[in-house]
Amino acid sequence: MENQQFKIAIIGAGTIGTALGNILAETEKTPILLHSIEKEVVIDINHLRINSKYFPTLRLNQGLHATTENHMLEHAGIIFLAIPSVVMIDHLKSIRPHLPPGALFVNLAKGFGCGHQTILECLKDEFPNPVCTMKGPSFAREIINRQPTGFTLGFEKKEQIAMIPDLFVHTNIHLDFSDDLRGVEILSILKNIYAVVLGIVDAQFNSPNLRFLVLTKAFREMRRVLRHFGGREDTLFNYCGYGDFALTALNDLSRNRTLGLLIGKGFFTEHVSHELVLEGKTAVNVFYEEISKTMCVEDHFPMIAELYRIFSAKYDISLFVETILSFKEE
């Protein structure tokens, strides 16, 4: 493997990185490199053909190669970024000398990258590489089990992503496209907020009528937030919009929906806050603080406002649904 020059690399050998790498390795004539900091995971993939930490029962394709060696990235033309948003930028900085400046970065992570910036904004500030993003309703276990899965490929310049669609021909990955790069990134963060909302509602009421009433109001509020932050409304109807929102809000495998269920049942504590990966909690704080610079959040975005109160102070959760339903939309 040391003598091979990998043209396609994935940084991150967790669930999504392994799943996507395995799917690409099934159809690509060129081998796929999976880069990880976890030595045990690398050994398992290369010698046992399994990722025992994340997919212990699934045998991986022979074309998927794993490494901890940074220099193995140096010939990549496309690098998929499949590590958590909170560590993404610092990790890439630490391996900067080994990242080809012309390689296309494809962001798979959902969340803010550094402070109140999206990951792509941080990448563009720190690296010369062209960037794009892939976001959609995509549980990794479904991907690796070859269930049809949709992603939105967000880009700035179409010529930069010309090679990406061909990678997924004859796979279970279906792409749609958007040149609203900021909108795609913002929606991938917003869906976590409104998944928490739906979790709270479902924890308190076993009512399909109410669930889809709130789902509709949440979708409308997402549209207002998207517009406020410079995204386009039509992006809501890509896989990264309604599809990813509905998957995250209505499926019990979603971490942020689970957080909402815990809050709605009165089980939310600081211990729970640290145990769960709370993309939704972080996103609420960032959006609230940014919106409050120019307008009253409560007057325009009641769900974000109420979640901010929940995460900031003691809150009577029995008032949550009544409060968000009392908001009169224009």
- Dihedral sign of CA atoms 27, 33, 38, 41 in order: positive
Q: Report which secondary-structure segment, H or E, holds 6.
A: none
What span, in angstroms and rounded, lies between the C-alpha atoms of 324 and 20?
38
Does 293 participate in catalysis according to the annotation? Answer: no
Q: What is the pLDDT of residue 56?
A: 93
Q: At what angle do helices 119-126 and 85-94 cross, to 10 degrees?
A: 10
Query: Which H or E run includes 14?
Result: none
Instruction: Specify whether the CB–CB gap between 102 and 216 falls below 8 A.
Output: no
DSSP secondary structure code for residue 49 in this structure: S
Beta bridge partners of 133: 107, 154
- Active-site hit among 110, 135, 191, 281: 191
Q: What is the DSSP letter of 2?
A: T
Whole-angstrom distance, CA of residue 18 vs CA of residue 52: 11
Q: Which CATH class is domain 183-325?
A: mainly alpha
Listed in order, the ranges of the chain carrying CATH 3.40.50.720 are 8-179
E strand or H helix at 297, and its extent? helix 297-300
Give the 3-state secondary structure of residue 311.
helix
pLDDT for the residue 330: 66
- Phi and psi, residue 100, nearest 5°: -60, 130
> Do residues 137 and 243 make contact, with C-beta atoms less than 8 angstroms apart?
yes
DSSP state letter for 113:
E
Q: Radius of gyration (Cα) for the chain, nearest Å?
A: 20
DSSP 132-173: EEEESS--HHHHHTT--EEEEEE-S-GGGGTTHHHHTTTSSE
The two beta strands, 64-67 and 131-135, are unpaired
> What is the rounded CA–CA span in Å between residue 74 and residue 99?
6
How far apart are the C-alpha atoms of 100 and 193, rounded to whole Å?
35
Among candidates 125, 140, 29, which has minimal Cα distance to 80?
Answer: 140
Q: Which residues of the chain are in CATH 1.10.1040.10 domains?
A: 183-325
Pairwise CA distance, residues 75 & 6, whole Å: 6
Tokens of residue 32, six digits: 């796929």
Q: CB 65: neighbour CB atoms within 10 A? A: 22
**Per-residue confidence of the chain (330 residues) as pLDDT tens digits?**
556 778 999 999 999 999 999 999 988 677 899 999 999 999 999 999 999 999 999 999 999 999 999 999 999 999 999 999 889 999 999 999 999 999 999 999 988 888 789 999 999 999 999 999 999 999 999 999 999 999 999 999 999 999 999 999 999 999 999 999 999 999 999 999 999 999 999 999 989 999 999 999 999 999 999 999 999 999 999 999 999 999 999 999 898 899 899 999 988 766 555 545 566 788 899 999 999 999 999 999 999 999 999 988 888 999 999 999 998 876
Helix axes 119-126, 181-204, angle to 10 degrees: 150
Right CATH number for 8-179 from 3.40.50.720, 3.30.1360.20, 3.10.20.30, 3.20.20.70? Answer: 3.40.50.720
User: How many angstroms separate the CA atoms of 134 and 31, rounded?
Assistant: 21
